[in-house]
Amino acid sequence: MDNFSRDDRLVGGLAILLAICLLFFPWFDITVNVGAFSASATFTATGDPDGWLGILAVIACLALIADLLVEKFSPQTTLPTIGGTRPDTRFILAVVAAGFVALKFLFHIHFSLFGWGFYISVIVTAALVFFAAQARSAAPAMMSHSMAGSAPSPPPTAAPSRPRSAAPPPPPPSEPAATASEPPVSTGGPSGGPEPAERGPASPPGTP
């Protein structure tokens, strides 16, 4: 049962129930009273009158069930589709079954003769078409979700590395402190000896 979604279980279960109603439940319940005697008879949807309509409705239900089982248990098997997809096919088969049930009703409208099986069949037929339409409308969303889940996830992107703070530039080399100027070293006279002392101004002649 894990292979079946909720909509699949509802559609398949209702198709089985409708086939059982058409085959075994009393569509007509006829009672004839003659004096003190009474006779009653019941007829299913596959019986007279026009039982072929009920038989075709049952065949449509069985085709719907077979389509659902093949899709879930043998997905590699290729079956013809009606409408493009398998949910579309099952919806159309449900509508076909409902059409034959409606024809059976229209050909013989006798509310005084309808049995309880007729009313149950009408309710189940309406529910089958409704849930088949729901499954058909939900199919694209489920397919896109499954495709999104099967798509490979992109590789994780590495978080951008935080740039390291730049090291402060080294301080400029300090200039050497100015050294005290040394007095120039006298190199002496041209001959290498000590430079003669500076003479004072020449005294005028006649001065002692």
Specify the DSSP class assigned to residue 82.
S
What secondary structure letter does DSSP report for 46? T
Mean pLDDT (the chain) is 77
Specify if 176 maps to a domain.
Answer: no
Domain extent for 105:
14-137
Residue 88 lies in a domain: yes
**Domain annotation covers residue 74:** yes
pLDDT at 13: 94
Q: Give pLDDT tens digits for 17-56.
A: 999 999 999 999 988 877 778 788 899 999 988 999 999 9
The answer as to whether 200 is a domain residue is: no
* Angle, helices 6-24/86-107, rounded to nearest 10 degrees: 30
| Residue 144 located in a structural domain | no
Residue 174, pLDDT score:
56
Select the more confidently predicted residue: 196 or 98.
98
Our count of domains for the chain comes to: 1
Task: Say if residue 204's pLDDT is above 60.
Answer: no
Domain annotation covers residue 169: no
Which carries the bigger pLDDT value, residue 148 or residue 77?
77
Helices 86-107 + 51-73 axis angle, to 10:
170
- Any domain includes 81: yes
pLDDT digits (tens, 9 = 90+) for 147-178: 444 445 555 555 555 555 555 556 665 555 44
Claim: this prediction has a pTM higher than 0.95: no
Would you give the distance in Å from CA 70 to the centre of its chain?
24
The answer on pLDDT for 129 being more than 70 is yes
Q: What would the mean pLDDT of 93-116 be, rounded to a whole number?
A: 93
Query: What pLDDT is attached to residue 96?
Result: 96
Look at residue 128 and tell me if it is in a domain.
yes
Q: What is the mean pLDDT of residues 115-125?
A: 95
Q: Please state the rounded mean pLDDT for residues 72-93.
A: 87
Q: Residue range 133-158: average pLDDT?
A: 61
